[in-house]
Amino acid sequence: MRDLLEENELKKKNRRADIINILLSAIIVLLVVVIVTLLFFLTPMTVSGQSMYPTYDEGDRILLSKVGYTLERGDIVVFKIPDNDNPPIKRIIGMPGDVIFFDLGTMDYTVNGEKLDDFASETGYSAEYFYNADRAVIDALTTTGLTVGENELFVLGDNRNVSKDSHVYGCIDMDWIVGKVILNY
C-alpha cells in the first residue's frame, strides 16, 4: 500500500513538472515570437515634435509596419534622413511621377493639377514658410512644379509652419522609409 501511495505521489509530481515545463516552453516561444516580430516586422515609436499636429502630438505612441506594406498618397511614414539621428514622421503627398505645385496666391498645394485635399492643420501658412527651404525646391514648387522622381516621395507634415519636410529639402528616397504608421495607441 505504501508503495502505491509513493507511486501516486511521484506521478503527481511528474504531472506538475510536465505542466510547468509546458508553460515555460510556451512562454519562451511567445517571447521569441514577440521579439522577432518587433525586430523584423513591427516597431513601436514615440512621436517627437509638433510637425504632425493635430494628427499626432508630441509623445503620442505609434506602431510602424516595417514590411509588407504598400504606400499611397495620404499614408503616414517614418523615414531616416542621412546625417539625422531623429527619424521624421510625415504624410505622403506626392508619389513617383506626380507634379507638385505650390500656388503663392492661394497658398494651396496641387498634385497633378488638382488641389490637394489638405490634411494640414488650420493654422495656415506663415510668411516664413519657405524661409529654410532649398532655393531649387522653392523655384520648382512655385513655378513649373516639382516632379517626384521614380524612387521618391514628396512628404509634408500636417502642421506645415513648423514642419521641415519636402518643401524644405525636396523629395525623399523610398529607401529611407523605416515604416508605415499602422496604429496610434
Query: Which parts of the chain fold into alpha helices (H)?
Result: 2-40, 135-142, 166-169
* Residue tagged active-site, from 11, 12, 25, 51: 51
Q: Does residue 99 contact residue 146 with C-beta atoms inside 8 Å?
A: yes
Q: Strands, E, within 41-139: which ranges?
A: 42-46, 61-65, 76-79, 89-94, 99-103, 108-111, 114-115
Type of residue at 89: I
| Whether residue 51 lies in the annotated active site | yes
DSSP codes joined into one string, 142-164? HTT-EEPPTTEEEEE-SSGGG--
* Residue tagged active-site, from 11, 90, 126, 164: 90
| Whether residue 80 lies in the annotated active site | no
Question: Please, which residues bridge with residue 30 across strands?
Answer: none
Helix, strand, or coil (residue 45): strand
Q: Does residue 63 contact residue 77 with C-beta atoms inside 8 Å?
A: no
- Residues taking part in catalysis: 51, 90
